[in-house]
Amino acid sequence: MLEQPDETMLRITPRLADDECLLKLEGSLTGAWVPELGACWCGVAMTAPDRPVRVDLTDVSHVDAAGRALMTLMYRAGVRFVALAGAPDLGFPYDSGSPSDT
């Protein structure tokens, strides 16, 4: 019997490239994971302050109100997001793409 994946988990995979910092998210951006994303964002921004930050949301299954608030703050600070076409309204613009675009 296969177990259902725990949707309360979030994997954050940072990748520093020459032209950007990418944070790939997988799972649910909820609860205690929201400040964890904030800490990762601050970490990559401090590590490479001259590179733009992009967040890949293509494998995110759920975002709670706190996660949306953090992403809005990040967007206002210049972070760009990519999500699958047809993703729920995030309250700010994002690039539609596929996982292969990241």
Q: Based on the number of CB atoms within 10 Å of its own CB, is 19 exposed (0-12), middle (13-18) or buried (19 or more)?
A: exposed
Do residues 36 and 70 touch, judged by C-beta distance below 8 A?
Answer: no
Q: Which residue has the higher pLDDT, 101 or 42?
A: 42
Lowest mean pLDDT among 7-11, 21-25, 48-52: 7-11
CATH of domain 13-101: 3.30.750.24
Q: Can you name the residues that pair with 91 across neighbouring β-strands?
A: none
Where do the structural domains in the chain lie, given as residue ranges?
Answer: 13-101
DSSP type of residue 58: E
pLDDT tens digits for range 65-89:
999 999 999 999 999 999 876 565 6
